[in-house]
């Protein structure tokens, strides 16, 4: 049996213990011990399975014997005595209250002791009645910020980032796949379609003995409550508050059930309409022949009529005269029409990816050295090149690299390349250069010219008007050494809205000047939005799928970026990371040459 929690959940648990200890006024050394342990664990590249092996945790600086025991207990059971005892002394709404931005342990304690705050509703009422502003250390601004934070939480309630949902889905899938009774297992729903935000999880399993599958599902260690349980389906609540639903079908129904429960609703509605016109009825049980006199309404018996034998989704779509439509495309955005004409794109795959761009090292706010990032990119991911793009000097909050330090950083990269180039790998000298408020770039031209790759991004002044922000980005796009426009919208999923910008104008100028648009794979960003990718592609824009990695583990963000590219109808030819090194370098050289000629 696998571990009850993953590494991210353990880190969160340690952070919550530190929060609760400070909330209760515990010894500051103990508070720091748990906070330091969380950071130490976060900085380790090993999997949790490796770390909890005997003696391994105790070797890590910042993790002592006592906290190592807490980590192992939580990894194996899903919680720990230390946390449960602390949690019992916290307000009932603690899990929601700590999500409010800028509400630290001491402020929460003041609210509980002085105003009797127990839940978010209590806090919202107290703020609206002006009681919070009167407390020492708060004031009107604090009250306004708390209300804004509460509104943000209410707005995003019941939604989870794709990466978090995927982690739970894989844990449950792996358990179900180990069952002898499970013939086939697949996550479905919005997760399978790689939506950036997921509201619940869906699983489809083929089995002749569904009771065994249902029992394994409802007793999984990620489950905290059974919502419903029948003979072929069940619903549960998971540790993070997400609902998960399971449907068990016979093997003959599996392909149709998987297609049906994958969705989207709009895609399925159009597909069922097509089936009707062809004399079929499509539902979760299969594709059935109907008589010419059949009504469009679903008959009382969903199995009525002769069922076509379909071993896969590919056969199902084929029976309807369509190319197979990848799950990522099933959003009713023209995919059925394209499939009918045989014009669906051959979507980019992780296997097509050759060079990783936009990675941060310990030279700015990254947690991994350049050498370690390069080794991981080459050995673990089998990529051919890596671009180090640390923050520019104005980004003091991210330890931006000063101009006088760039020479030393480049010398370090040269030394690394002397070791790695004989092994067929190269590190490129780059930067993520801030776009200033007026659209100019943070580094002067002579510095940018020496870079082999420049990503330009906005990290400040998000509240500009649409016109101002659009002009700011356009000026940056036209810069001769702006190779890639980074995280175009500035959004942070479930945390910060995209800033106002005219995407049509941005794409028009980017297409005219040849500037590459980034698809940022950070699971908190996934920016550019997939809904905009197809439009930009049709305008001739090229894309860079980048991890925005700040650690060795962060390189895995490429997978999330590839998902976005696939949902955006992109093929390998649309993604510059799919180019061999020399072709990529040639592309950047030609791009800069073209821009300089246009500026003459």
CATH number of the CATH domain containing 382:
3.20.20.140
Residue 53 lies in a domain: yes
- Please tell me whether residues 334 and 373 are part of one structural domain: no
Which of 120, 135, 155 is the endpoint of a domain?
Answer: 155
Q: Which of 340, 359, 389 is the last residue of a domain?
A: 340
- The runs of H, that is alpha helices, within 48-161 are 48-51, 65-77, 81-88, 94-97, 105-115, 120-128, 140-155
Residue 417 resides in a domain: yes
132 and 274 in a single domain? The answer is no
Same domain flag for 131 and 166: no
Spans of the chain, pLDDT less than 70: 1-2, 292-298
For 162, 373, 389, the CA distances from 80, given in Å and listed in that order, are 27, 34, 40
Do residue 271 and residue 398 come from a single domain? no
Domain assignment of residue 2, yes or no: no
Question: Which residue in 209, 276, 206 sits closest to 246, CA to CA?
Answer: 206
- Number of domains making up the chain: 4
* 396 occurs within a structural domain: yes
Angle at which helices 7-23 and 81-88 pack, to 10 degrees? 40
State how far the Cα of 307 lies from the Cα of 290, in Å rounded to an integer.
10
Q: Are residues 269 and 380 in the same domain?
A: no
226 with 262, same domain: the answer is no
Please tell me whether residues 193 and 272 are part of one structural domain: no
Beta carbons of 383 and 354 less than 8 angstroms apart: yes
Same domain, 61 and 112: yes
What's residue 292's pLDDT? Answer: 55
Q: What is the reported pLDDT for 6?
A: 81
CATH number of the domain encompassing residue 113: 1.10.150.110
pTM, two decimals, is 0.87
Return the DSSP state at 298.
P
Burial 268-295 (b: 16+ CB within 10 A, else e): bebbbebbeeeebbbbbbbbbebeeebe
Q: Note the pLDDT of residue 298.
A: 67
What pLDDT sits at residue 101? 84
- 205 & 282 share domain: no
Same domain, 242 and 271: no
- Claim to verify: residue 357 and residue 455 sit in the same structural domain: yes
Residue 345 in any domain: the answer is no
Whether residues 74 and 205 share a domain: the answer is: no
Q: Which CATH number do you get for residue 242?
A: 3.30.460.10
DSSP-derived letter for residue 549 is B
Residue 1 lies in a domain: no
The residue out of 249, 272, 288 marking a domain boundary is: 249
- The boundaries of the domain holding residue 478 are 350-599
| Residue carrying structure tokens 């306004």 | 144
């Amino acid at each position: 049996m696998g571990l009850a929690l993953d590494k991210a959940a353990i880190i969160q648990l340690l952070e919550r213990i530190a929060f609760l200890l400070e909330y209760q006024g515990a010894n500051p050394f103990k508070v720091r011990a748990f906070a330091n342990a969380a950071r130490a664990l976060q900085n380790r590249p090993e999997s949790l399975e490796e770390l909890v092996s005997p003696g391994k945790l105790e070797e890590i600086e910042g993790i002592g014997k006592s906290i190592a025991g807490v980590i192992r207990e939580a990894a194996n059971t899903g919680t720990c005595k230390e946390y449960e005892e602390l949690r019992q002394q916290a307000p009932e709404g603690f899990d929601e209250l700590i999500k409010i931005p800028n509400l630290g342990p001491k402020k929460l304690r003041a609210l509980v002791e002085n105003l009797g705050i127990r839940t978010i509703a209590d806090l919202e009422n107290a703020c609206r009645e002006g009681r919070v502003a009167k407390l020492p250390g708060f004031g009107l601004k604090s009250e306004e910020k708390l209300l804004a934070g509460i509104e943000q939480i209410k707005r995003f309630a019941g939604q989870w980032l794709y990466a978090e949902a995927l982690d739970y889905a894989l844990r449950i899938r792996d358990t179900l796949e180990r069952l002898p009774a499970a013939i086939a297992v697949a996550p479905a729903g919005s997760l399978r379609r790689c939506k950036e935000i997921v509201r619940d999880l869906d699983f489809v399993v083929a089995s002749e003995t569904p009771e065994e599958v249902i029992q394994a599902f409802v007793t999984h260690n990620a489950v905290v409550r059974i919502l419903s349980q029948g003979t072929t389906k069940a619903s549960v609540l998971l540790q993070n508050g997400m609902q998960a639903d399971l449907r068990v079908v016979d093997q003959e129904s599996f392909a149709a059930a998987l297609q049906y429960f994958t969705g989207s609703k709009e895609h399925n509605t159009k597909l069922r309409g097509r089936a009707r016109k062809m004399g079929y009825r499509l539902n979760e049980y299969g594709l059935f022949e109907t008589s010419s006199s059949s009504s469009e309404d679903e008959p009382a018996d969903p199995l009525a009529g002769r069922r076509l034998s379909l071993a896969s989704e590919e056969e199902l779509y084929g029976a309807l005269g369509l190319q197979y439509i990848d799950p990522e495309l099933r959003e009713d955005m023209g995919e059925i029409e394209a499939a009918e004409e045989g014009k669906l794109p051959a979507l980019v795959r992780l296997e097509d990816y050759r060079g990783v761009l936009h990675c941060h090292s310990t030279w700015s706010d990254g947690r991994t050295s350049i050498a370690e990032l390069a080794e991981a990119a080459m050995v673990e991911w089998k990529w051919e090149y890596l671009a180090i793009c640390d923050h520019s000097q104005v980004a003091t909050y991210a330890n931006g690299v000063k101009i006088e330090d760039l020479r030393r950083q480049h010398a370090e990269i040269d030394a690394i390349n002397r070791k790695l180039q004989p092994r067929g790998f190269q590190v490129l000298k780059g930067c993520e250069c801030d776009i200033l408020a007026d659209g100019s770039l943070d580094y002067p031209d002579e510095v940018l010219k020496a870079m082999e790759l420049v990503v330009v991004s906005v990290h400040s002044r998000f509240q500009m008007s649409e016109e101002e922000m659009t002009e700011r980005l356009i000026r940056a796009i036209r810069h001769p050494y702006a190779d890639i426009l980074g995280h175009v919208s500035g959004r942070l999923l479930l945390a910060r809205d995209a800033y106002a910008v005219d995407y049509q104008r941005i794409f028009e100028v980017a297409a005219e000047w040849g500037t590459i648009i980034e698809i940022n794979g950070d699971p908190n960003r996934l920016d550019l939005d997939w809904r905009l990718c197809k439009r930009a592609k049709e305008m001739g824009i090229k894309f860079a799928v980048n991890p925005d990695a700040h650690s060795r583990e962060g390189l895995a963000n490429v997978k999330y970026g590839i998902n976005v590219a696939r949902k955006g109808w992109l093929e390998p030819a649309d993604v510059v990371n799919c180019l061999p090194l020399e072709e990529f370098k040639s592309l950047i050289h030609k791009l800069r040459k073209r821009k300089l000629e246009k500026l003459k």
